[in-house]
Structure 1
Amino acid sequence: MPKLDRLARSVPDAREIGDSLVARGIRLSLGGSIYDPADPMGKIFFNILATFAEFEVDLLRMRTREGMAVARAKGKLKGKQPKLNARQQAHLLKERATGDYTIADLAEQYYVSRATIYRVLERARGAA
């Protein structure tokens, strides 16, 4: 059985789902109790569920940001390593400047995608 707090990720989202259920005449049966999103008890039930779900998401985001800040401070959060090292990038730029090589040629020569070649060229333009 799916967790009921996964019904909505925010209070506005829960209201939208509740309105959709009301429009279709649907009521929820949970643990032997019937919750009708059209009546006040059903509305408060949806809002409480949504509030807790939104709190849970916000708490997860906060913990993730804190964990990343700690890792960054320790020097452990460096991101993905570039496919080409600095020497390869410099050589690639020289080869491209000659006009003898196409993007596809360079990608094949360095065993990377064309997107990687374009990124190297764009970074070089940005640095210049």
Structure 2
Amino acid sequence: MVAEFEADLARARTREGMAVAKAKGRLRGKQPKLSPAQGKHLVALSWAGQHTTAELAALFTVARSTVYRAVERAGGADPSLVAKA
């Protein structure tokens, strides 16, 4: 009975804190590994084709999956290559 009451209080405090953070415009969750500028630079280097995915991951100190995700979000393959096909 007391444990349930304490759990309810903890949930209420958590919800209040989340509401305050949302009102202040703070992001919830994990921060992005790459800034928008870094993401654009990474995609440009990827589209240039001079570096492998592993090299780009090492260069930007991120995982290969992050490189793949950034390129996918930017539109996948190089638009100039898609236009030629």
Aligned structure 1 segments of 4 or more residues deviating by more than 6 angstroms = none
**TM-score (ref. length: structure 1):** 0.46
The code of the aligned residue for 2:71 comes to L
> Using CA pairs below 8 Å that are at least 6 residues apart, which structure has the higher relative contact order?
2
| 1:121 to 2:71 alignment | yes
Query: C-alpha distance in 1, partners of 2:72/2:11?
Result: 32
What does 1:1-128 align with in structure 2 at a 5 Å threshold?
Answer: 51-75=1-25, 77-79=26-28, 80-125=30-75
User: How many residues are treated as equivalent by the alignment?
Assistant: 75
Q: Percent identity?
A: 54
The alignment yields a C-alpha RMSD, in angstroms, of 2.5
Q: CA deviation at 1:122?
A: 4.1
**TM-score (ref. length: structure 2):** 0.63
Note closer, same or farther for the CA distance 1:119–1:56 as it changes in structure 2 (3 Å cut): farther
Larger fraction in strand: 1
Larger radius of gyration: 1
Query: C-alpha distance in 1, partners of 2:72/2:9?
Result: 37
Q: Structure 1: 5+ residue runs without aligned partners?
A: 1-50
